[in-house]
Amino acid sequence: MALPEIEIKPQAKHNGLFLTCIGLISLAILLIISQFFWLKAKLPLIFLISASLVSLALGIAKLLEPPISFSITPEKISYYHKYGNWQLSWPEIANINVITSSHGLERLQLPYIGIRLHDLSTLANKISPRLANRLIHEQRILLVHSVQQQLLTIEQSQMNFEPFQLSDNSQIKGPIAAFLHQAERLQEALGYHLYLPANSADRTLDEFNQLLKQCRSSAGNYQANDE
């Protein structure tokens, strides 16, 4: 029997077709107009054509995003990015929560949901090298935040290209090793290894957080009942 599945669509993909169409139509109209009024309205036309190209580029970028960002079943959670994917079984996850950080006397909520693993090494063969390399750069802002809040030193926030030692004493190299080093640093600073951005879900951060918590807590019961 097929397992029940919840598919989450990314907010980043919304309005991709609209932006692409607007960009194409406005660009075509402006190119026609420029044939007749280029000398009289050169600067405004350059500005409007540039805006149309930006709209077109943003629309195409959104359309290139995967149709779903997360697939959730009683067995695992899978994350899909245009640069690759990762999968984790629920027992491998220790905690899930919205990321918060102290700022003086205030508690700030960051636009991410964090996932802490029981053993970071389990991620080594469950994330694609291309995605690992991309996430190193996408999550750089979290390292900058951690340095600003004095949760990490500047030296600790630097990219680490050394091999990463796994829990079985073997070593892994390359972009996955660099990503695991970074995940380890972020866990020291913010408490979690993986960070799911708010725009990767089709609902509010709190709603998505509650959904993930419910799926994780009910996964064990589902498997027990299935047996």
Statement: residue 201 has pLDDT above 80: yes
Residues 6+ apart with CB under 8 A from 165: 171
- Which of 14-18, 97-101, 127-131, 134-138 bottoms out in mean pLDDT, i.e. has the lowest? 14-18
What's the rounded mean pLDDT across residues 26-54? 87
**What is the arrangement of strands in the sheet containing 93-103, beginning at the earlier edge strand?**
93-103, 106-117, 194-197
Instruction: Give the residue among 5, 15, 11, 7 at the shortest CA–CA distance from 203.
Output: 11
pLDDT at 2: 61
Residue 132 pLDDT grade (very low, low, confident, very high; cuts 50, 70, 90): very high
pLDDT score recorded for residue 45? 85
Mean pLDDT of 160-171: 93
Which amino acid, residue 4? Answer: P
CA nearest to 195, candidates 141, 158, 122, 151: 141
pLDDT band at 103 (very low <50, low <70, confident <90, very high): low
Per-residue pLDDT at 224 exceeds 60: no
Q: How far apart are CA 32 and CA 68, in angstroms?
A: 38
Q: How confident is the model at residue 63 (pLDDT cuts 50, 70, 90)?
A: confident
- d(C-alpha 205, C-alpha 113), whole Å: 7
pLDDT above 90 (res 17): no
